[in-house]
């Protein structure tokens, strides 16, 4: 029986889990039943792994991690515990993870495991909420919120993997996706005066944050000029048409080697067929004109080259913060648009669409300086290597390597959010990260000078 003092907290958490699980199930329904063992991105596990991983993570970190419960299914708890992050330049090397099984379990067995975990999470929710505060992951129900955010992040991972599936291996939803098509806002340079930027957050001021978000650090940012909107597909097409992928002098040596090895000659989401460009979304292949004013999604390596071609560069994490959250008066905002919670008019996030929209479509989300869509429509690459803030503490007892395993100089910080990011992840301190030569993410960029 749920005690009256914690009943509202438990009810809210239960609702959040049900909403998150329902979305997860809808996204997995995009995958044809016989495609669960497919690996659309060879660097990732087959799709069935993610069905089990979301539940194994929740079980291992919530019911076992906080409540000290026994293993639910030792074999499945282990093989689904953690994914892989192979080195893009040498896929035989990857960060530690459970051994890949010789044969993956049957889908029915994995779904039964998922349902058992979900039932246990719900029945254990009050115990988590009232667990002794000496357990750091029980304070503010951190373990439960961590499980929610982990699943929300993997919903986006699932979508960019499904995007790489052949059309015949997908099940299109009803009603069909609607793709916004109107003129983009014309970009303009915006001068951001020198000042300070606060990165990260103080541990006690967030109900939950991942270890790499703490502690806060204030840095000085010199004056710079930033584009008011991200680079569009139409703008990037000019670079492609100008032979940018063949301009050796624009590319770093490692980026050039990767491009040549993979045969990349245009963004991964583009297709050239019979001399005509097409654009691939998660669900459909569109004529290029529909997506011409959407932000271009590319790897950091490709973004760097375009920026050099344009006579600019990419922003640092600190410059992004200054442009997004700074104000002429010196105070910093919680969000680019102010301190009010994210709403649909602020940006294209929280699954409002199945794709990006033309850049600058949400003027209510602009920053104090007039810089548009720093949150939403795609994560934004920065030129800052993913690294800890001074005083970093891997505070999650069951996951000390969550961030630390990736402080390797090969991963770079992305900020903001994409159309497939849950609104819960739209917070100033949240940091995403990927390898520089990983081209599958819903990631855009803009130039600074």
User: Which segments of the chain have a pLDDT < 70?
Assistant: 1-4, 91-98
**Residue 299: predicted pLDDT:** 98
| Per-residue CA distances from 47 to 29, 80, 83, 404, 441 (Å) | 12, 12, 11, 26, 16
Pairing of strands 378-385, 443-444: parallel
pLDDT digits (tens, 9 = 90+) for 226-275: 999 999 999 999 999 999 999 999 999 999 999 999 999 999 999 999 99
Write the pLDDT tens digit of every residue in 171-223.
999 888 999 999 999 999 999 999 999 999 999 899 999 999 999 999 999 99
Non-local (6+) Cβ contacts of 378 within 8 A are: 230, 295, 297, 356, 416, 418, 419, 442, 443, 444
Global model pTM greater than 0.85: yes
Look at the block and give the residue holding tokens 């006690």: 204
**β-sheet with 411-417: strand ranges across:** 432-435, 411-417, 378-385, 443-444
Cis ω before 209 (30° cut-off from 0): no
Question: Can you give the C-alpha Rg of the chain in angstroms?
Answer: 22
**Locus of tokens 């030792």:** 74
From residue 441, how far is each of 116, 173, 380 by CA, in Å?
A: 31, 22, 10
Residue 93 CB coordination number (10 Å): 8
In b/e form, how buried is each residue of 27-58, taking b as 16+ CB within 10 angstroms? bbebbeeebbebebbeebbbbbbbbbbbbbbb
| pLDDT given at position 93 | 64
> d(Cα 383, Cα 34) in Å, to the nearest integer?
40
- CB burial string 134-159: b at 16+ within 10 A, e below: ebebbebbbbbbbbbbbbbbbbbbbb
Rounded CA separation 170/189 (Å): 41
What is the pLDDT at residue 94? 57
What is the pLDDT at residue 128?
Answer: 87
User: All domains of the chain, ordered by start, with CATH?
Assistant: 7-169 (1.20.120.450), 177-449 (3.90.1580.10)
């Amino acid at each position: 029986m749920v005690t009256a003092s914690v009943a509202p907290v438990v009810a809210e958490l239960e609702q959040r889990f049900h909403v998150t699980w329902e979305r997860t199930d809808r996204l997995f329904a995009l995958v044809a039943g016989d495609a669960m063992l497919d690996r659309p991105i060879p660097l990732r596990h087959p799709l069935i792994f993610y069905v089990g991983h979301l539940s194994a993570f929740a079980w291992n970190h919530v019911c076992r991690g906080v409540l000290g419960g026994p293993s639910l299914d030792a074999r499945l708890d282990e093989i689904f515990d953690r994914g892989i992050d192979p080195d893009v330049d040498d896929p035989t090397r990857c960060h530690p993870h459970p051994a890949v099984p010789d044969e993956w379990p049957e889908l029915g067995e994995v779904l039964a495991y998922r349902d058992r975990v979900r039932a246990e999470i719900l029945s254990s929710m009050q115990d988590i909420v009232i667990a002794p505060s000496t357990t750091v992951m029980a304070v503010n129900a951190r373990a439960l919120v961590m499980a929610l955010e982990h699943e929300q992040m993997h919903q986006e991972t699932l979508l960019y993997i499904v995007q790489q599936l052949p059309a015949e291996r997908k099940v299109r939803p009803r009603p069909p996706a609607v793709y916004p098509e109107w003129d983009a806002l014309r970009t303009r340079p915006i001068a951001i005066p020198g000042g300070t930027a606060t990165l990260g957050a103080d541990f006690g001021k967030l109900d939950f944050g991942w270890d790499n978000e703490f502690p806060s650090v204030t840095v000085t940012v010199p004056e710079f000029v930033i584009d008011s909107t991200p680079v569009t597909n139409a703008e990037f097409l000019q670079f492609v048409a100008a032979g940018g992928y063949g301009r050796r002098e624009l590319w770093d040596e490692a980026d050039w080697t990767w491009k040549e090895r993979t045969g990349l000659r245009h963004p991964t989401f583009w297709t050239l067929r019979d001399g005509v460009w097409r654009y691939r979304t998660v669900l459909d292949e569109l004529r290029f004109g529909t997506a011409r004013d959407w932000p271009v999604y590319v790897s950091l390596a490709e973004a760097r080259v375009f920026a050099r071609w344009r006579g600019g560069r990419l922003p640092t994490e600190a410059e992004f913060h200054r442009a997004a959250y700074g104000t002429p008066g010196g105070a910093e905002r919680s969000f680019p648009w102010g301190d009010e919670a994210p709403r649909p008019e602020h940006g294209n996030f929280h699954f409002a669409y199945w794709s990006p929209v033309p850049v600058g479509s949400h003027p209510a989300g602009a920053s104090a300086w007039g810089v548009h869509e720093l949150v939403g429509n795609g994560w934004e690459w920065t030129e800052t290597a993913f690294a800890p803030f001074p005083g970093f503490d891997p505070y999650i007892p069951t996951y000390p390597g969550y961030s630390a395993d990736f402080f390797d100089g090969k991963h770079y910080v992305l900020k903001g959010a994409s159309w497939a990011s849950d609104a819960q992840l739209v917070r100033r301190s949240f940091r995403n990260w990927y390898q520089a030569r990983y081209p599958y993410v819903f990631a855009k960029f803009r130039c600074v000078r």
